[in-house]
Amino acid sequence: MLLALLLLGMASSTYRQVQARRERMQAVLLLQKNALFMEAFQRQHGSYKQTPVSWPLLPYPVSPESGPVRYRIQFGAEARNTDEGYYVLRAVGSEPHGGGEVISLTQRGLLKYCVRDGGNEHCELLS
């Protein structure tokens, strides 16, 4: 009986890990779709910015596209504080699922996953 409970607990933990990874990859896909939008916007308007102090509206502001929101997708900084020709998109984990998670994608394609643990932040490059 104890062995069965132990195995069930391990299987449940593994399932949660696989589910979390799938949700992260879904957010990465939507970050990449938003990046394609930004490239098209830049080609059409000559700038990544809507105005010197504002960004265009992103076509994919949340992940997943339907159902409970797991990540909110936004710009990493205000347009007025960002150099011309540069942007960072961020998928910020929403509570209670992963409020300490941030996936960042730069206009050069650098993809980074960070998790806040107490006062520390642990990051790894995904690309």
Q: Could you report the per-residue pLDDT of 59-100, keeping only the tens digit for each?
A: 999 999 999 999 999 999 999 988 989 999 999 998 765 568
Domain containing residue 45: CATH number: 3.30.700
Cβ-Cβ contacts under 8 Å for 22 (sequence gap 6 or more): none
Residues 5-62 pLDDT 10s: 655 565 666 877 788 889 999 999 999 999 999 999 999 999 999 999 999 999 999 9
In whole angstroms, give the CA distance from residue 39 to residue 96: 33
> What total number of domains does the chain contain?
1
The answer to whether the peptide bond before residue 61 is cis (omega within 30 degrees of 0) is: no
Read off the pTM.
0.84
The pLDDT, as a whole number, for residue 46 is 95
C-alpha distances in Å from residue 4, one per residue of 7, 9, 16, 26: 5, 9, 18, 33
Range of the domain at 52: 2-125
